[in-house]
Amino acid sequence: MRLRTARTLAGKSQAALGAECGISQKQISRFERGQTVPGDTEIRLLARALEIDPSALAHGATGAAQDAGSYGAGGNEDDVLRRNFVTAGLGIGTAAVLPSATAVAAPATPTDWDRALYTTNTAPNPSSNLSSTQLSAGLGTVARHLAATRYAEAEKALPRLIVAARASAGRSGRRGAELLTRAWALATAVKVKERHPDAWSTSSWAVEAAERSQHPLALAMAARGQYICLRQHGQHRQARMVAENAVADLVDEELARPVLGHLLLESAYGAAQAGRTADAEALWEHARSLARKGSTVAIWPDYPGPLTREQVDRYALCIHHTLGDTRRAVGHMEALNAAAVDVPHTAARIRHDSAKLRRDIGDMSGALRLLQNLSADTPQDARRTQVRTMVSGMMHTTPHLPGLRPFAASLGAV
C-alpha cells in the first residue's frame, strides 16, 4: 500500500498526518510524489499514525521507487488491484458500495469492454501499439464524444484505448500512468451515466494510475470520478472525505484548478443532498472563485471541459433547488440560456435540471418543452435512465398534457 492510498483510507490530510508524525506537510507531499524517499524512522512514524504495518509503506511507498515496468498489464500488482478494486481506493466495506439490484445487468458473454477491463492478454495485440501521441489523440476524441453527448461512440472507442493505455503504463513510466488515468477517468464518465457497476472498478483504477503519475491534473480527475461514484450511491461521508483530501492536497496546483472547481461543485451539490446548507454554499462559492481565476491550461485535455460561468450557475440551480430555496433556484435558471452554450453536454444538463425545477413548481408545459429541446439537440442524452424516469413520472401525474404521450413513447418511457 503506498503512502497516499494509506493516508486517504485513514481519512487524513497531508497536514494532519504530518502533525501527528512531526513531519511537515511539504515533506509528506514530497514522499507521496516520489521526490524524497522516507527513512526507516519516518516510515515507522507514518505507519503508527496510519495504523498499518510499516512493511506496507517500506514496499512501494513512493511513486519514484516504482520502475516503469512494474505497471505492466500482466504484473502481480496489477492482478491484486483488479481483485481488490472495490475497497482499494474507497476505504469502505464491500457491502456498502455494491450497487443495488437496479444496476445494469451484465451481458451473458464477455464484451470488448469486459475483456479490456478485466482480462490480461499477453499475446501481441495491435491495439497496444499506439504511441503516446496517438493514444492521447484517441482519448481526446473520446472526450469530445462525451462533451457532444455521443455516449455510444465514446463507449465503442474506449476498449481499444484502454488496452493501449495499460500497455503504455507498462513501458512509459509516469507519462504512461497519466494516460492510463485519462482512460480510466473517461471510462468512469461513461459508466456513471447509467450508474453501471463497472464505474466502481474504473474509478478505483483511475486513482491508482493517478498516484503513479503524480500529475496534479490526473490526481484531480481521478478524485472527481471516485467522488461521483460514491455520491451516486449515497456514500456521502466517504465522498466528502475524498473531495476534502483532494482539495487540501492540490489547492496550490494551478494545473488542477479547473478539475478542482468541478469537484467543488459536485461536493456542493452532495452537501445540499445531505442537508448541509452552509457547507453547500461555501463549497459553491469556492468553486465560483476558481472559475473567476480562469483555466491555466490552453487546451482542456478531457471531459467535462473548462470551468465556465454556465456550469457554476447550473450547479447553483441544482443546489438551491435541492435545498428548497425555489426563489434563488429560479433566478439561476432564468440567467441560463442552454441554446447559447457551446458544449452540448453542458447544454443538456442545463435543460434537464431546469426541466426538473419547472416540473416541481408546477410548470409541466415548460418542463416538457425543455425536455423536447434536449431530445432534439442531444438525443442520446435524452435516453438516459434519469430522463426517461422523469418523463414516465410526468405521465403518471399529468397524462393528458398535450404532446407528452408521443414524446414519452419516442424515449421508450411508456
Model confidence pLDDT, tens digit, residues 63-113: 333 333 333 333 333 333 333 333 333 333 323 333 333 344 445 577 888
Grid look-up 474506449 returns 158
CA-nearest of 301, 312, 304, 311 to 217 is: 301
Instruction: Show the CA angle centred on residue 233, arms to residues 163 and 375, nearest 5°.
Output: 75
Q: Judging by beta carbons within 10 Å of its beta carbon (0-12, 13-18, 19+), is residue 261 exposed, middle or buried?
A: buried
CB atoms within 10 A of CB 246: 25
What's the rounded Cα separation, in Å, for the pair 353 and 233? 20
Q: How many CA atoms within 13 Å lie on the side-chain side of 334?
A: 6
Q: At what angle do helices 198-213 and 76-83 cross, to 10 degrees?
A: 140
End-to-end CA distance of the chain: 49
| Residue 77: partners with Cβ closer than 8 Å, 6 or more residues away | 60, 70, 71
Instruction: Show the CA angle centred on residue 66, arms to residues 64 and 72, nearest 5°.
Output: 140
Residue range 16-74, pLDDT digits in tens: 888 777 788 888 888 887 778 888 778 878 887 887 777 777 654 443 333 333 333 33
**For residues 158, 163, 167 and 173, what is the CA-based torsion angle, rounded to 10 degrees?**
30
Q: How many residues does the chain have?
A: 414
Cis peptide before 406 (omega within 30 of 0): no
**In contact, 356 and 330? CB cutoff 8 Å:** no
Burial 176-197 (b: 16+ CB within 10 A, else e): bbbbbbbbbbbbbbbbbbebbb
Report the chain's mean pLDDT, rounded to a whole number.
82
* The pLDDT of residue 332: 96
Of 128-132, 162-166, 255-259, 402-406, least confident by mean pLDDT is 128-132
pLDDT: which is higher, 370 or 95? 370
User: What letter would DSSP give residue 149?
Assistant: T
Query: Which value, in Å, is the radius of gyration of the alpha carbons in the chain?
Result: 22
**In contact, 41 and 92? CB cutoff 8 Å:** no
pTM: 0.74
* The pLDDT of residue 67: 32
Residue range 138-191, pLDDT digits in tens: 999 999 999 999 999 999 999 999 999 999 888 888 999 999 999 999 999 999
What's the rounded Cα separation, in Å, for the pair 389 and 400? 18
* The pLDDT of residue 301: 63
CA-nearest of 311, 303, 270 to 287 is: 311
CA-nearest of 265, 286, 289 to 353 is: 265
Residue range 290-348, pLDDT digits in tens: 888 876 665 556 766 778 889 999 999 999 999 999 999 999 999 999 999 988 999 99
Q: Judging by beta carbons within 10 Å of its beta carbon (0-12, 13-18, 19+), is residue 398 exposed, middle or buried?
A: middle
**How far from 375 is each of 196, 323, 332, 336, 384, CA to CA, in Å?**
22, 28, 22, 18, 11
C-alpha cell of residue 335 = 440567467
Could you write out the DSSP letters of every residue in 196-253? -THHHHHHHHHHHHHHHHT-HHHHHHHHHHHHHHHHHTT-HHHHHHHHHHHHHHHTT-
What's the rounded Cα separation, in Å, for the pair 414 and 411? 8
What's the rounded Cα separation, in Å, for the pair 353 and 338? 11
